[in-house]
Structure formats: C-alpha cells, structure tokens
Amino acid sequence: MAMENFNGGRRIRLPLCDTKANYLDGFWRWVEMLAADDYVGAIVALHWPNGTTWTPETLRKRVTPFFGGDV
C-alpha cells in the first residue's frame, strides 16, 4: 500500500486491485493513526471528495469514548 505525496504525504492510497485484503490494509493503517492519537493524520489520510466538517478534535471526541477512553 502506498502513501500519496499529498497533504504532507499522509493520504492512504489503496492498490488498484479491488480486494478485501487491500481495503483491510488501508483500514488498519487508519486505525493505527487513531491509536497513535494522530487525528490530524487520520483526517487528511482519507479522500473527502466534497470536503469534510470533521476536525481532529471532533474525531477524537467521537473515537475515544467508543473505545472506552475518557474525553
């Protein structure tokens, strides 16, 4: 799996081959960012064709309690 040199080289790119394994690799790369408290990276790593209203702080506030943490 490659990282595109876009948004500081942090965009997750999936291989052209449309497989479950490729999607899971991308998903777990994104989860690793969340686990490392890299919420900025987690937002810029995804392609948002119409932009997003998510901020690193709103993502942190949604994800942390989901996994049992305190906000």
Quick check: 25 and 8 in contact, CB under 8 A? no
Dmax (CA) for the chain in angstroms is: 39
pLDDT at residue 23 in the model: 95
User: Residue 35: what are its φ and ψ, rounded to 5°?
Assistant: -65, -30
Q: What is the pLDDT along the chain (71 residues), one digit of tens a residue?
A: 544 445 556 789 889 999 999 999 999 999 999 999 999 999 999 988 999 999 999 999 999 998 888 87
pLDDT at residue 8 in the model: 59
The pTM score is 0.78
